Amino acid sequence: MSTVYSSAAKSRMSEPVTVPPFAVIPGAQVQHVLQGREKQIVELVEATYRLHGAGESVNPPSYFLRFPDRPSSRIIALPASIGGNVRVDGLKWISSFPENVAAGIPRASAVLILNDHDTGYPFACLESSIISATRTAASAALAADRLSRGRRRPTRVGFIGTGLIARYIHTFLAGTGWSFDDIGVHDASADSSAGFCGYLEPCGTASRITVHNTAEELIRCSDLVVFATVAGEPHVGEPSWFAHNPLVLHVSLRDLAPEIVLASANFVDDIEHCVKADTSPHLAEQLTGNREFLNGTLDDVMAGRVTVPTDRPLVFSPFGLGVLDLAVGKYVYDEVVRSGDLHVVDDFFHELRRYG
């Protein structure tokens, strides 16, 4: 039996196959690469959404490791593969331990593993809490821009939940040209609210900063609402609070009662990913038995396949796609390589001869 190879396959076979060197990129390098590049990263995230929408990615469901003795904590695995010019596979392994905050350390920690497209060998391990926050914030800023086109651009923003993700989202909004007359702040922790205000004040913003005592007060005073909490179940349940039709970046996914979801126009990053794990859209599906309340994805909006309504609240609920982490992580890796500062671990892979 003869074997026929395509010209592309023959070309690959003629090239020597080598194991890539393995590198470690710490958080300081990650931050140095990403800081001040908000516009570039938003463009990268937009391009990645388009690749995903075109089917040039593999993004299986996220896997949740939960603990009976620590019910508020979890570790999530996000495997993914992206094509296009990025051509990389990999895995984000991110933990969320809310009790860390009381101990004075961040809630989330993460690493990102990048795998070589041709050999499957991992070639880099990157500190990824910064990458994760960056891609989340870039996604939110992109959605704020795309979903507000054709509507009055928001001038009053309110943050419910004021941790690291809220800080990154504000940074990305400011870094992509947004300015606000008013910035509202609400958090269950007074210390967190104060800390967020302390971050905002040195930013040189001309906005009036107001700490609101209740979520209702903040929502009614905001035409762009950002949810960035650690809520495990809905805590906002009154549709009348949204009667002024704000744009809602529902980043933390589980804040809104199904009644609010059903009274709104709803956009997600990926329908199958978002309607699961007891997110607010998942609860709405369980209540209605269908997904007719979903208007489409952000890629649908960017491609002009759907029209964004103007007569009701808009809710963007991004589950967070592993392909975004890969795209941002590969961008960081390429920039570190270009700088000549890549830290390679010599002889990380030891057994490289099949028969010793």
* Whether residues 308 and 171 fall in one domain: yes
DSSP code string of 98-152: GGGGGGTS-SEEEEEEEEETTT--EEEEEE-HHHHHHHHHHHHHHHHHHHHTTSP
Which contacts (CB < 8 Å, 24+ apart) does range 345-351 have? 345/21, 345/22, 345/23, 345/24, 346/21, 348/21, 348/22, 349/19, 349/22, 349/121
Q: Does 203 reside within a domain?
A: yes
* Whether residues 330 and 287 fall in one domain: no
DSSP code string of 266-280: EEES-HHHHS-TT-H
Question: Is 1 in a helix, a strand, or coil?
Answer: coil
Q: Does 7 reside within a domain?
A: no
* Whether residues 38 and 185 fall in one domain: no
Residues whose CB is less than 8 angstroms from the CB of residue 332 and which lie 6 or more positions away in sequence, other chains included? 25, 29, 30, 33, 34, 126, 131
The number of angstroms, rounded, from the C-alpha of 45 to the middle of its chain's C-alpha atoms is: 9
Q: Does 353 reside within a domain?
A: no
* Whether residues 271 and 299 fall in one domain: yes
pLDDT for 9 equals 44
Q: Cα 33–39–43 angle (5° rounding)?
A: 100
139-198 pLDDT, tens digit per residue, is: 999 999 999 998 899 999 999 999 999 999 999 999 999 999 999 999 999 999 999 999
* Whether residues 210 and 244 fall in one domain: yes
Q: Does 197 reside within a domain?
A: yes
Q: How many domains does the chain have?
A: 2
User: Hey, what amino acid is at 182?
Assistant: D
Q: How many helices (H) and strands (E) does the chain have?
A: 12, 16
Give the domain CATH number at 333: 3.30.1780.10
* Whether residues 287 and 330 fall in one domain: no
Give the domain CATH number at 176: 3.40.50.720
Two tokens, residue 28: 């300081």
* Whether residues 293 and 171 fall in one domain: yes
Q: Does 164 reside within a domain?
A: yes
- Round to whole Å and give the CA distance between 336 and 348: 19
Q: Does 122 reside within a domain?
A: yes
- Round to whole Å and give the CA distance between 136 and 91: 16
pLDDT for 7 equals 45
* Whether residues 199 and 63 fall in one domain: no
* Whether residues 283 and 155 fall in one domain: yes
* Whether residues 203 and 171 fall in one domain: yes
* Whether residues 180 and 247 fall in one domain: yes
Q: Does 139 reside within a domain?
A: no
220's enclosing H/E stretch is helix 215-220
* Whether residues 163 and 207 fall in one domain: yes
Beta bridge partners of 182: 156, 208
Query: Do the Cβ atoms of 330 and 88 come closer than 8 Å?
Result: yes
Q: Does 272 reside within a domain?
A: yes
Going residue by residue through the chain, which has 356 residues, state the pLDDT in tens, using 9 for 90 and above: 334 434 444 444 556 788 899 999 999 999 999 999 999 999 999 999 999 999 999 999 999 999 999 999 999 999 999 999 999 999 999 999 989 988 989 889 999 999 999 999 999 999 999 999 999 999 999 999 999 998 899 999 999 999 999 999 999 999 999 999 999 999 999 999 999 999 998 876 778 999 999 999 999 999 999 999 989 899 999 999 999 999 999 999 999 999 999 999 999 999 999 999 999 999 999 999 999 999 999 999 999 999 999 999 999 999 999 999 999 999 999 999 999 999 999 999 988 887 86
C-alpha separations of 99 from 71, 141, 189 in Å? 11, 28, 13
Structural domain boundaries enclosing 300: 151-317
Q: Is the pTM of this model over 0.85?
A: yes
